[in-house]
Chain A
Amino acid sequence: MFRRDVLKSAAILGAGLALPAGLDILIDSCDAAPRPDLAVATGQSPAAITRAAIDALGGMSKFVSSGDVVVVKPNIGWDRLPEYAATTNPEVVATIVQMCFEAGAKRVKVFDNPVNDARRCYTQSGIAAAAKKAGADVSYVDSRKFSERIINGQVLKQWPLYDEVFADKIINVPIAKHHGLSKLTLAMKNWMGIMGGSRGKIHQRIDESLVDISRVMNPALTILDAVRILTRNGPQGGNLRDVKKLNTVIASTDQVAVDSYGATLFGMKGRDLGYVRLAAKSGLGVMDLSKMRIKKVKA
């Protein structure tokens, strides 16, 4: 299953690179340099910066093919309004859904397995309404649709994961927040939202568990919402004084790189996060930002 996805995305990537330069107007109009590994877009409009970040990586059609069923996985974990920065920005989610359809996606599914009551989380976060309006299938997690999956990781050998997440493509859309135990919750931690079972237990070996679970998830794209970030009392917040507006969206195909860059938003380094260190060491992605082509755009 995973191998097939890897092959598929490799094929797509290959196809994208093989395009004659003259045909790919988008890339050419930006610059002639090779595509960046990570894009950082800043600006007032969450929709515009989301679009700019993805376009900087070559556009959504580089990651989503015509006829794909795409899962867009935001963080809808808490019953909070968008201003509190506990859940992914609804405009960012809606823009991604829209871009998936523009790239020819057949269906786009949006869901999360929240900690608070799902109905309140979906409604109060504004994500359900925004994603639905953009055309996505927004559904609550169905407890019957979890199956035990082989993970064979360092700590997690197997775990019940949500069936629906294994679509043609998955786009991880976390929000950047403080977290008591893991210091920050960014992209890799967002996979907790597809886990079933007694997931609180993974706190006992949080760093290893996050790497294990991230290894079996193979996102076509990771888009970190840093329009607002939660700097204290995370991951749930509740105090507007703990929220900082950065008007930033970060995108990459490398989830470790996203988390490493995400750490800098909080005045930390990637190496300060146990799971980023561990992930880089095991070859899941790149932690060292100096080794990455980072493109900053304004929108």
Chain B
Amino acid sequence: MIRRLRIISQAIFLLLFFFLFLQTESKGMDDLGYPVRLFLDFDPLILITTLLSAHAVSVAFYLSLIMIALTAVFGRVFCGWACPLGTLHNLVGAMKKAKDRLDLAKWHRLKYFILIFLIASSLFTLQITGIMDPISLLIRSLSVSVYPAFNSAVNSSFDAVQQLNIQSLADITESINSFVKKTLLSFEQPYFQQAAFIGLIFFSILGLNLYQRRFWCKYLCPLGALLGVISRYSLMKRSVSEGCTSCGVCAGKCQANAIVGEPAGDGKAWRPAECIACHNCDDVCKVKAVKFGFRKSAEPVALDLGRRRVITSALAGVVAVPLLRSAPISKKEYSEPALIRPPGSLTEREFLQRCVKCGECMKVCITNGLQPTLLEAGLEGLWSPMLVPRIGYCEHRCTLCGQVCPTGAIKQLTPEEKMEVKIGHAVIDKGRCLPYAYGQPCIVCEEVCPTPQKAIWYEEVTVRDRNGKKVTVKQPRVDLEQCIGCGICENKCPVKGQPAIYVLSAGESRSQENQILL
């Protein structure tokens, strides 16, 4: 009974998650209209690590205190009942027929070591939780990889049918296509750097379920570990009555290796920190001996991590901080020219202390310009957002990335503030620019430049062609005072491949050092 409720709850939360994910897209208004980052707001792992690393957190994150309270009462119900990634693990696990072997029984401690590592490093201002935080991981993987692949697959299927050129079929598929387009598909096909790589990691994590169901939740998930630490003290306890025949069936059905006592599998010993309250054990018990209630449990097994291992994990987390920051990008005067951060981004140091690489900004970016970094921001900043204008420019009046950022790494700006923010500056390559290099008219860059007083202006110059004939062309120039680095000039520059005008990060408002002008 409770198990069935749990499954319904999982379905509802997964659908809610997908719904919010699909709403993380512009409809042309200034606001999205939905609390699309809700799942992140409820994530206490992000709350704690961000508080430690940045000493500040956006107000919405205090919603995750509700999650902590729920866990303190009911145990890891989030993992069992709500986590969308957990539910996906269940779905993939259903593809596996054989029973899970429990030969990794002690490996469940690994996730606590990961948690300790992350907390220790965040204490020293390093925020890399997002790499393994399940909600960040899921949103990032869907945004950057799975959803673009899904879009591409659906679109090419429709195109294939269209190409069959059967009119009756085409009419039907066209109407299905327009429906699917409105409801499920992205406005335009998104493309992301590292899409296959990030997707490979995600599918590998899902694939681990074929080795052991909920492998990720049992052994790796740092959020599960955090909730596990809290649920050790939760009020809801599992108890086994006298009637238990020690048949061990419940241990076999346990999703989280929570029922592994000595002797193995007798069904009585219970690890409260591991239990995700899936209620498989009481559901399957033939003699109804297993009960959950607010009574004291008979045989809770303590969480024994080992002092040395805890210290080692913490030390590793501390050591990771200077290690990741020994690349030149961490040098104060150094700035990576390609690292164009979204408008409203904090200074690079503060930005990295907050960004959890959840990929919300990349999902919502209206032009697909925000892309995950590889090494542009150092290993510390892996998968954080940067603008690649050749793929998509920063839309002048759009403020969506700041609206969806869960941690405030990108500040939420009003449209008026946003239009003032500089994220870089444009550079003209005179060797490629048509009016400079070839005496050809062009100035597309000037046409598309969005600042009220155009940052790109032009000078009328008379040049000679190879026959000595005079030609007057307009040669574009960049006004550094006006240029905001939005990159539309680079994006629309008709010079293919390497554009004749491109944007570099210098001049960005958020930095005092990375400036050109006096």
- A residues adjacent to B (C-beta < 8 A): 79-80, 115-124, 128, 140, 143-144, 179-181, 198, 200-201, 203-206, 233, 235-239, 242
Contact = CB atoms under 8 A, between A and B. Distances in A.
B450 A238 contact: yes
B451 interface: yes
Given A115-B492, A123-B28, A198-B494, A203 B448 contact: no
B447 A179 contact: yes
Interface stretch (B40-48, B103-111, B390-398): B390-398
Interface in B445-479: 446-454, 458, 474
Contacts of B26: 117, 119-120
A179 B434 CA distance: 19
B269 interface: no
B375 to A, nearest CB: 30
A80 to B, nearest CB: 8
Given A180-B458, A181-B443, A238-B451, 17 more contacts: A79-B396, A79-B397, A116-B395, A116-B396, A118-B187, A120-B26, A120-B397, A140-B187, A144-B162, A181-B442, A181-B447, A200-B492, A200-B494, A203-B442, A203-B447, A233-B454, A235-B447
B29 A236 contact: no
A128 B451 CA distance: 25
Closest 3 CB pairs of A and B: A123-B28, A119-B28, A239-B452
Contacts of A180: 443, 446-447, 454, 458, 474
B28 A124 contact: yes
A286 to B, nearest CB: 27
A200 B28 contact: no
| Max count, chain A CB within 10 A of own CB: residue among B28, B442, B492, B496 | B28
Contacts of B367: 117
Contacts of A124: 28, 397
A128 B27 CA distance: 12
B441 interface: yes
Question: Which residue, of B447, B449, B494, has the highest number of chain A Cβ atoms within 10 A?
Answer: B447
B440 interface: yes
B382 interface: no
Contact of B398 (A117, A143, A236): A117
Nearest to B25: A119
24 contacts: A79-B398, A116-B396, A117-B26, A117-B366, A117-B367, A117-B398, A119-B27, A119-B187, A119-B366, A120-B28, A120-B397, A121-B28, A124-B28, A144-B159, A180-B446, A181-B446, A181-B447, A198-B494, A200-B444, A203-B443, A204-B434, A233-B454, A238-B450, A238-B452
Contacts of A116: 395-396
Contacts of A80: 397
Contact of B452 (A115, A201, A237): A237
Contacts of A238: 396, 450-452
B26 to A, nearest CB: 5
B493 interface: yes
B395 A117 contact: yes
Contacts of B443: 180-181, 203
